[in-house]
Amino acid sequence: MSWVLGLFCFADSMSPLFVGSVMRRLCDKEKISREKLAYIADSTSAPVSVLYPFTGWSSYLTSLAVGIGCITVREDAFKLMLKAIPLNFYAILSVTMVLLLSVGIIKDYGPMRKAEKRAIEEREMVRDEVFSLSSTNEKTENSLKERVFLNFIIPTILLLVISIGAFVVIGSVKVLEAVTIVVLLMSVSFLIQGMSLQELNETFVDGIKGAIPALLVLAVAYPLNALSSEMGTANFIINCTSHFLLPAFLPAGIFLICAILSFATGSSWGTFAIAMPLALPMAYNVTNNEVTLLVVSCFAAVAGGGVFGDHCSPVSDTTIMSSMGAGADHIDHVKTQIPYALTVAVITFFMYLIIGFAAI
């Protein structure tokens, strides 16, 4: 169920908050560790966002491709992005691996196995003496009855309808506006259902209190990202590796560079902005300025490599929000998730090697 919710909530940083907050108590009841919940929420946030053509991620990637090679208008860039979706192996495999782990086809391994064993045998969803990024009282009671359809399913559907509807009508996904409308409507609904104004106010205050630890971590993470940018980390990595990239190795090499870059900086969009204007021209030079399998795979490699760091770097906002939503220790979440992310990354690397040689 956590995996399914992650597929339908495609608002990047909001997705792990939504999935973690909704599923936390149910996962505790079923003796699923907070680290596992954080992993599920994290690996269905950025990977899902980059696969859907109506998200801000897709719009941003599309805009970066305009003016490079034979792509002169946004419509052509959008077609390139659509062709690249099936070749975004990292995002597809990340989402698939979450499903396979969730249903037990793939057994947990590494630090996650220890976390799950602790949750099942010792009934401890988090380790003792850890710092949880969620400071809310999870047993807060209110005067409302548990109306799942009215208070959960309808708001979720409404959020999706407004977001996707905005994309269809005006070509832009208005997630913040959709959330604001849903919050206002649900506030009125809670008052009609019998919640007092004081309880409604306490609910808002608890939500703000719960966000403060994650905001403090983000306040430290963003300066680190800025410092990395000012030091020229991205350009250094690009300059050291670009002359090694032979045509057949372009997709795999670009993916590896973007993965390292996004993990070091914690920024997928920053990685996109730096790597896309460098990766696509190299591919176009090989294909005589035509959109071929090599160009499409390089576009997908940039997108997938950027996602790698966004959902497993300790200084990424999505990683931090996943820890917060699940109520997990941030470092424990990073340590348990990295083996899974690296597994998918290694498979993706070899798949891009195959694509590279097939495209030449």
295 with 96: CB under 8 angstroms?
Answer: no
The pLDDT value recorded for residue 216 is 64
Strand, coil or helix: 329: strand
Q: Does residue 312 surpass a pLDDT of 80? A: yes
The pLDDT value recorded for residue 139 is 47
Letter for the amino acid at 56?
G
253 with 245: CB under 8 angstroms?
Answer: yes
Torsion sign across C-alpha atoms 81, 82, 88, 92: positive
pLDDT digits 0-9 by tens, 295-307? 999 999 999 999 9
Entry pTM: 0.77
| Structure-token match 């099942």, residue found | 120
User: What contacts 259, CB < 8 A, 6 or more positions away?
Assistant: 90, 304, 305, 308, 309, 345
Residue 207 exposure: Cα atoms within 13 Å on the Cβ side = 10
The pLDDT value recorded for residue 219 is 65
Distance, in Å, from the CA atom of 281 to the CA atom of 297, rounded to the nearest integer, reads 13
pLDDT digits 0-9 by tens, 206-265? 777 666 665 665 566 556 556 655 666 555 655 665 566 677 888 999 999 899 888 888
Residue 43 exposure: Cα atoms within 13 Å on the Cβ side = 31
Per-residue burial over 291-328, b if 16 or more Cβ lie within 10 Å, else e, is bebbbbbbbbbbbbbbbbbbbbbbbbbbbbbbbbbbbb
Q: Does residue 99 surpass a pLDDT of 70? A: yes
Q: How many CB atoms lie within 10 A of CB 237?
A: 19
Distance, in Å, from the CA atom of 48 to the CA atom of 40, rounded to the nearest integer, reads 12
Residue 111 exposure: Cα atoms within 13 Å on the Cβ side = 17
Q: Does residue 194 surpass a pLDDT of 60? A: yes
